[in-house]
Structure 1
Amino acid sequence: MLARQRQELILDEVRSTGGARVSDLVERLGVSDMTVRRDIEVLAARGLVTRVHGGATAAGSSVEEPGFAAKSGLHTDAKRAIARAAVTLVEPGASVALSAGTTTHAVAAELVAIPRLTVVTNSLRVAEVLHESGRSDLCVVLTGGERTPSDALVGPVAVNALRGLHVDWLLMGVHGMDVGAGFTTPNLAEAETNRALVASARRVAVVADNSKWGVVGLSTIAALDEVDVLVSDDGLEPAARRALDESCGRLVLAS
């Protein structure tokens, strides 16, 4: 297979699912890991994909919203490390809000070990993880609303459910983080719902792996300096660390 043919197949995979892993492409294309990485570099240089750790994601549009399945296989080690670090913020008996997303899904799996929690979420997948834990001392409040490609429940129903609620912590996933744009999402309704989540919380922690740095979605949820804690991973580049350390209340890097 010619390099151009490989690159077209990689681009088709990224566009159809929102992302592709190097390991999956190696198996599908029957070439080496290095060959796939070179093809991704070529596509990234042309502005057709964004090269991330372990693969590639869609590039160019601030309104593209990859589905949950497409994102769940990317940066899994970083998400698990971030989840383990994030739950250390939460004390037994606390009330916690969890937004939708693959990183918060990982957080939910760790959160079930903490006793006597009340968890508010707009994610069916997060609610499912919490329910399957079988914890009798765990109270789960699901907002309701319209479902997005990332399996978030959004819109007027979700926003109205969050009005009047007051939680100790919000642990929030984001599509992108940038010095100028702040924390963003490509979905306008999800941005509105996430802003309602922010308004309900005494303290806000964003959970986002290093690939989210420099990504700008269509709508801003919050500025960098509006969050109390950012939990990311140690793959975050030095320039990003400096910018986030200066802007956010506290920067935690999980290894």
Structure 2
Amino acid sequence: MTEARQFPDPAVERLMEEPVPGDSRQARQLARRKQITEAVMAEGSMRIEDLTERFGISLMTVHRDLDELVSRGLLRKSRGIVSAAPTSLIESSDVYRANRQAAEKAAIAQAALAFVEPGQAIYCDDSTTVLQMVPGLQDKAPLTVITNSLTLMNEISPLRNVTLLGLGGEYHNWCNAFMGHMTTGEIGRLRADVLFFSMAAVMDGMIFHQSPGMVETKRAMFDTAERRVLLVDHTKFDRRALHSLGRLAEVDTVIVDDGIAADQLDAMQSAGVEVVVAPVETA
């Protein structure tokens, strides 16, 4: 019997040159680590010394980057050689996800801001699409933002008149977020006006993610929010993942980019789902 995969193997891409939004040290570091991960994915394995030449960084810096990527389960390091971890884990990581469909995510995030009103309490999950909503949240203040994402906590904390409720629990390095029973227990004691979230795959009228822990956390937010807004780019409709969060029809609004196929758009609308199509700006 053939072993089922959570995702089809993605085509190996060349290094992506788009920077992570923002120009902070953390953003540049994340962009470099993402490029290192994709370089190793493309080659299968590489000599660590070769990475110093390719990226123009010191051996100390490359080891620091690799140690972080190894701790996240993305790469493996042994005797001067670094190699890639299984595809499904790499695709789950925020390092890998940071610039995937960047233009589409920006357009979707911008459209999502229309569903935020001053005075609301909103859930924001750990997704990189929701992360792109952060710059626009200042204009919606006062707000209360509830999140399990450490990345999002760091981005939101400087905003004025925005109360941040960070969900604790068991920290997971690979996604830079908190999950588990402590996290869902805290969520269960809260009620929010809107949940903004993303998922790894949409198929057969269901929404999926490859991490069961992530599904459990998102579902807890889902069940305690008055309105649920799913942010998902068109590539998620061509993927598969193992664990279901629930039916797409349970979502109040789906925001997609204009690359969505006509038949997929028709299927959602026929199921009674409100769909917002966000136009993507071309370079």
Q: Which category of TM-score, normalised to the shorter sequence, fits these structures?
A: 0.7 to 0.9
Residue number among 205, 208, 219 corresponding to 1:195 in the alignment: 219
Tell me, yes or no, if the aligned pair for 1:127 and 1:142 is still in contact at 8 Å. yes
Hey, what's the Cα distance between the residues in 2 that align with 1:212 and 1:225?
17
- Distance change >3 Å, CA 9–CA 83, structure 1 → 2: closer
Structure 2 partner of 1:82: 108
Give the alignment of 1:1-255 within 5 angstroms.
65-133=91-159, 135=160, 137-148=161-172, 149-180=174-205, 182-247=206-271, 249-255=273-279
- Distance change >3 Å, CA 152–CA 221, structure 1 → 2: farther
Hey, what's the Cα distance between the residues in 1 that align with 2:124 and 2:12?
37
Tell me, yes or no, if the aligned pair for 2:12 and 2:41 is still in contact at 8 Å. no
Q: TM-score, normalised by structure 1?
A: 0.73
Q: TM-score, normalised by structure 2?
A: 0.66
Deviation at 1:191, TM superposition (A): 0.6
Question: Which residues of structure 2 form unaligned runs of 5+?
Answer: 1-10, 15-35, 43-53, 55-85
Q: Deviations over 1:70-116 (max 9, x none)?
A: 11111111111111100101111111001111101112232222111
Q: Secondary structure of the equivalent of 1:118?
A: strand
Query: Which amino acid is 2:195 matched to?
Result: L
Tell me, yes or no, if the aligned pair for 2:231 and 2:255 is still in contact at 8 Å. yes
Structure 1 partner of 2:58: none
- Distance change >3 Å, CA 93–CA 15, structure 1 → 2: same
Identify which range, 241-250 or 220-229, moves more after superposition: 241-250
Hey, what's the Cα distance between the residues in 2 that align with 1:93 and 1:240?
35
Q: Deviations over 1:98-145 (max 9, x none)?
A: 111110111223222211101111111111111133x1x111111112
Tell me, yes or no, if the aligned pair for 1:98 and 1:170 is still in contact at 8 Å. yes
- Distance change >3 Å, CA 9–CA 138, structure 1 → 2: closer
Identify which range, 72-81 or 62-71, moves more after superposition: 62-71
Structure 2 partner of 1:49: none
Tell me, yes or no, if the aligned pair for 1:176 and 1:215 is still in contact at 8 Å. yes
Query: Which amino acid is 2:203 matched to?
Result: D
Question: Which residues of structure 1 form unaligned runs of 5+?
Answer: 1-6, 19-27, 29-59
Identity %: 25
Query: Which amino acid is 1:201 matched to?
Result: A
Tell me, yes or no, if the aligned pair for 2:227 and 2:252 is still in contact at 8 Å. yes
**Cα RMSD (Å) of the superposition?**
2.7
Deviation at 1:232, TM superposition (A): 0.9
Q: Secondary structure of the equivalent of 2:140?
A: coil
Q: Deviations over 1:167-187 (max 9, x none)?
A: 11000111111124x111111
Deviation at 1:207, TM superposition (A): 0.5
- Equivalenced residue count is 207
Hey, what's the Cα distance between the residues in 1 that align with 2:277 and 2:139?
22
Tell me, yes or no, if the aligned pair for 1:120 and 1:142 is still in contact at 8 Å. yes
Tell me, yes or no, if the aligned pair for 1:101 and 1:152 is still in contact at 8 Å. no
- Distance change >3 Å, CA 116–CA 187, structure 1 → 2: same
